[in-house]
Structure 1
Amino acid sequence: METDRLIMRRWQETDREPFAALNADPEVMEHFPAQLTREQSDAMVDRIESAFDEHGYGLWALQIRATGEFIGFTGLAWQTFEAHFTPALEVGWRLARSAWGYGYASEAARAALDYGFGPAGQAEIVSMTAAANLRSRAVMERLGMVRDPADDFTHPRVPAGDPPAVLYRISRDAWR
């Protein structure tokens, strides 16, 4: 898929090194339980590619059209951990710090939502983050996603005692 400024594509071997650097960046990973090692990052790429094989879509590698630079991912991922709203299709993103502030996450997420409500045929898509992740929450709100505080939840992959995660939702009808 392509947007005005981005190419959203399957992963390539050459993406692994910059993705590992992104996952090891403390600022990028501030709202995650931990930074990832190279091995953990590579395993994540393998899981992402397996999801593409299974569903035909997933977390697309993002590349800036003008330069060819890999900057992270944006896309769709099934969340199946135990929670009141799962299973659910999530739109998510993770971008290198150098790519923040240019609207790339919003631009690519719009394309992912178009795909999710179009070819993937979903009636609702969610997005979630740590309550303190104001940047990602702003992207969710720019996309028209809505948070109901009653949906806040304890994410099973987050250390005990951390604040609840926030959940945003958007329906196909609201996306139109």
Structure 2
Amino acid sequence: MRYLTNGKPTPYDEVADVVQRSLGHRWLAFQQAENEFVGWFGLPHSEDGEYEVGYRLRRASWGQGFATEGVGALLVVAFTQLGARRVWAQTMAVNTRSRRVMERCGMRYVRTVHEHFDDPIPGTEHG
């Protein structure tokens, strides 16, 4: 979670809240050969036909194609099964690996958003 929590562990109560809110639209990913947890992928329900795709991978799983495979699969589900009009994702400007995943999956850059955070992590100033 290098670009989300600055490498700090997330408190248990926050994790439990995320799990509860994620039921039904977040999937756990495991590497088949060793049945090892890779991370999770999400596609929250949308009333307006626009979906945000997201994911978090364990550091040990970076650079192995899991993100591209998972995001690609969710894009297929969104457009063929859920009738999505649009699917979007967001990442920090400095997270070039996630930007490449989005591009490989056919997504395109639209804009940079600058948000204010009380405790910003390095790179936040770039959007």
Task: Give me the TM-score of the superposition, normalised by structure 1.
Answer: 0.60
Residue 75 of structure 1: how far off its partner (Å): 2.7
User: Which string of whole-angstrom CA distances, capped at 9 and with x for unpartnered residues, describes residues 32-76 of structure 1?
Assistant: 155411221122111111xx1xxxxx2211111222212211131
Q: Quote how far apart the aligned CAs of 1:122 are.
A: 0.2
* Equivalent residues, number: 121
2:73 is matched by which residue type in structure 1?
A
1:95 aligns with 2:62: no
Structure 1 residue 107: Cα displacement:
0.5
Q: TM-score, normalised by structure 2?
A: 0.81
Q: Over the residues paired in the alignment, what is the CA RMSD in angstroms?
A: 2.5
CA contact (8 A) 1:33 1:159 kept: no
Partner of 2:37: 70
Q: Contact (CA 8 Å) 2:54, 2:89: kept in 1 or not?
A: yes
For residues 144-166 of structure 1, the C-alpha deviation after alignment (integer angstroms, 9 at most, x for no partner) is 11113xx222347x44874364x
Work out which of the residue numbers 98, 108, 116 in structure 2 matches 1:146: 108
Kept after mapping to 2: 8 A contact 1:75/1:108: no
Q: Work out the CA distance in 2 between the residues paired with 1:88 and 1:164.
A: 26
Q: Distance in 2 between matches of 1:163 and 1:117?
A: 33
The structure in which a higher percent of residues are strand is 1
Gaps of 5+ in 1: 1-28, 53-57, 80-85, 166-176
Q: CA–CA distance in 1 between the matches of 2:28 and 2:74?
A: 12
Extract structure 1 runs of 4+ deviating beyond 4 A.
Answer: none
1:31: which partner in 2?
Answer: 3
